[in-house]
Every structure is written in C-alpha cells, then in structure tokens.
Amino acid sequence: MGIREHYDSFLGAVYSWTKGDFYDCVKKCEQYFIENGINSKNNQLAIDLGCGNGTQSVALAKRGYKVISVDFNKQLLIELYQNKGELPILIVENNIFTYLSSIQDLMPEVIVCMGDTLSLFSTFDELKKLFTTCYNMLTPGGKFIISFRDYSNPLNGNSRFVTVRSDEYRIFSCFLEYFETAVGVTDILYEFNNGRWTQLVSSYKKLRITAHDIQQWLNDSGFKQVSSLTVNRMIHIILEK
C-alpha cells in the first residue's frame, strides 16, 4: 500500500490518538523552540511541511509566527483547523513539492519538517531536492528544523515488534522489516467495540534514512548545523542558512 493510501484509509483516523494529548505535545514542542531561540517578534513567516494534526504549527504560531501548514491528509488537516483556534495558521492540503513549486517568491524565516515526514518521501533524491529547495527559499539566517529516526542499525528479533500506544479500548503496535533502502512497516490496530475486539492491519514502506546520509545531504545543500538533540530515538536538528 502507498503511504498516502495508508494514511487516508488507516493511520489518519488514529494518528492523533497515538501521539497522546495534543496540547501536551504542543507544550513540549514550544518548549523546544523556546530553548533554541525560535521566536518571531514581527509575525515572520514559518512553513510546516507534513504538518499532520498541527503540533509544530500551533507551537510556531504561539511563538509569534504566521504559519503555512502543508499536508496531504484531509482528516489530520481538519483536526488542525479545530485545534488552531484564532492562531494565524493557513492550512494547505497538497503534496509538499507541488506546493513549494507554487510559492517560489516566498521567503520564510523558518521551515520545519518533523515527525516521520522525511522518511515518507519516495526517494533519496527527493530528500536532496527538498533540502536544496528549502535552503534556497529561506531568508539569510533562516532556520530549517527537522526530525527523523536513524535507521542505520536495524532492530532484530522481538525488538521489531513495537507497541506504540494502548488503552482500555485500543492497542496500536507495529512490526518493522529492514531492507537495503527501505523499512517495511505493518501497523496493527486492535479496537474494542460492542463487547468484542477487532483487528485492522495495514502495511507500507518508508525510506531507510540514516543520520550520516541526512547530514551529508544537508551539508551539500549549504546548511550550517546549529543544534542536535536525540529524544526517544528521534533526532532533532536545527540548521541555519
């Protein structure tokens, strides 16, 4: 199954639940931005690529930015609309590259691409193109903020089975398979309805990205690294043009 189809038919409906309380997630993200000096005093522009339900978008807006939030999943964008209140967030349902090619005259102060978004691109060449495009768009001194998982060392045996979240009505887990350039993901959801448990399963592949490759492609694009932090095996990097 393709990634977009997986989100539209399966993951989009439970994505926000797997992440936990939305406002707790926003608070943690905003704190990360505060600690790294990501704030706007003049309503500067920020673009959130692969925004999902809007954790980063809302955090950026609370730091004073006008935000453009881009994603292909309608359900998550509806949730963002419900979450944003009166914050200055423009919601765009589109493919990332299609949208970026339509706004070449914009010069954002910040571009973020966080969560699993980088691994959801189709090819490594697309990632290289993304980094170069973002570098060229940013204002001088602008920030590019990314996060990703380093898949250079594969999980083995039972560690390939990962419980994402569970409560009394849902259990969400995934199984990972490692290939040379991709990671196969099988998402498994158990839901308790009308006195019985049901199982839903959906699989897709994402890019097997590594920290070494990402760093090399960022350097090739011209970015200078400002900070790097790893939290729960997720690498967060802030870069500057």
pLDDT at position 55: 98
Mean pLDDT by 10 residues, the chain (241 residues): 92 95 97 96 94 98 98 97 96 95 91 96 97 97 98 95 96 98 98 96 97 97 96 94 97
Contact 223, 144 (CB under 8 A): yes
- Report CA-CA distances (Å) from 64 to 36, 43, 71, 101: 15, 6, 21, 26
Residue 189 backbone dihedrals phi, psi, to 5 degrees = -120, 125
pLDDT at position 137: 96
pLDDT at position 79: 97
Which amino acid is residue 77, in one-letter code? L
pLDDT at position 106: 92
Structural domains in the chain, CATH included, are 3-150+208-240 (3.40.50.150), 157-207 (2.20.25)
pLDDT at position 33: 97
pLDDT at position 104: 80
pLDDT at position 110: 98
pLDDT at position 213: 97
pLDDT at position 200: 97
What distance in Å separates the CA atoms of residue 177 and residue 205, rounded to the nearest whole number?
Answer: 9
- What does pTM read for this prediction? 0.94
